[in-house]
Amino acid sequence: MNETYLYLLILGVGFLVGIINTIAGGGSLLTLPILVFCGLPPNVANGTNRIGIVLQTAFATAGFKSKGVSTFPFNIYLGISAIFGSVIGAKIAIDIKGETFNKILAIIMIAVVLIILFKPKLQTIELQERLTGKYLWIGMISFFFIGFYGGFINAGIGFIIILYLHFVHKMNLIRVNATKVVIVFIYTLSALIVFVLNDKVDWKIGILLATGNGMGAWFGSRYSVRKGEKFIKSFLVVVIILMSVKLWFF
């Protein structure tokens, strides 16, 4: 592919994913296979994808904090616990064979589609949060394993974190998202460092992707509507299924 067209494609995909992550979530399920299809080795695509995630979650964290929404120090405790799992997961991802990685990604993509389609309905009423005592310890143990998955591949993890924080820690959706972005920022930064130290990041493509992410997130946050979320989720399901078939068989 012509280099100019490649960069325009990456920028456009980043923009689309920024909208998807703002309205529905699961954008990495698109960026990872597209980076692979554009010619990056799977482990380099995996590392490069983290640049956009770090920048996006950093801005989102600042945005929530500016509105006075924070779950400190609960979010920090879970984030630190997730670091240890993330570093282990990232190291495994670096060494895994490309063909094996593609098949794992294809399976995960289908699994996340099932979560999107059949996830339980989230409550909108005010809940009694459970952030201390045994629930804090349960959260730290759980986020070690969530961090491991995040460091390994990260795709679709937002849905898992949302469901976990809502049903286990009884957090409303605003505080769930505020907590999620802090945790994902912390463990993704640690995973990115592992990928950088092992020379598994394409900075030019990563920065382009992150730029598109930022523009899409800004657009999506301003123009997202309920109907838009339904459309985006339907679009995401169809594209994920097609890409998973491509990854598995071709």
Q: How confident is the model at residue 121 (pLDDT cuts 50, 70, 90)?
A: confident
Q: Is the pLDDT of residue 87 over 90?
A: yes
232 contact partners, CB below 8 Å, separation of at least 6: 19, 20, 23, 24
Higher confidence at residue 124 or residue 188?
188
Mean pLDDT of 11-35: 79
**Integer Cα distance of 146 and 165 in angstroms:** 12
212-233 confidence digits (pLDDT tens):
888 887 776 665 545 455 665 6
Tell me if 159 sits within 8 A of 26, measured CB to CB.
yes
The 3-state secondary structure of the chain reads: CCHHHHHHHHHHHHHHHHHHHHHCCCCHHHHHHHHHHCCCCHHHHHHHHHHHHHHHHHHHHHHHHHCCCCCCCHHHHHHHHHHHHHHHHHHHHHHCCHHHHHHHHHHHHHHHHHHHHHCCCCCCCCCCCCCCCHHHHHHHHHHHHHHHHHHHCCCCHHHHHHHHHHHHCCCCHHHHHHHHHHHHHHHHHHHHHHHHHCCCCCHHHHHHHHHHHHHHHHHHHHHCCHHHHHHHHHHHHHHHHHHHHHHHHC
> Given this model, what pLDDT does residue 158 score?
82
Tell me if 56 sits within 8 A of 210, measured CB to CB.
yes
Q: Is the pLDDT of residue 205 over 80?
A: yes
Most confident of 99-113, 190-204, 221-235: 190-204
Encoded amino acid at 99, one letter: E
> Given this model, what pLDDT does residue 225 score?
47
Mean pLDDT of 99-103: 81
Most confident of 21-30, 71-80, 231-240: 71-80
Q: How many residues does the chain have?
A: 250
Most confident of 14-18, 49-53, 62-66, 228-232: 49-53
Give me the chain's average pLDDT, please: 83
**Integer Cα distance of 155 and 35 in angstroms:** 13
Q: Is the pLDDT of residue 65 over 90?
A: no
Q: Is the pLDDT of residue 134 over 80?
A: yes
Mean pLDDT of 102-129: 76
Mean pLDDT of 104-108: 82
The distance of Cα 209 from the centroid of its chain, to the nearest Å, equals 14
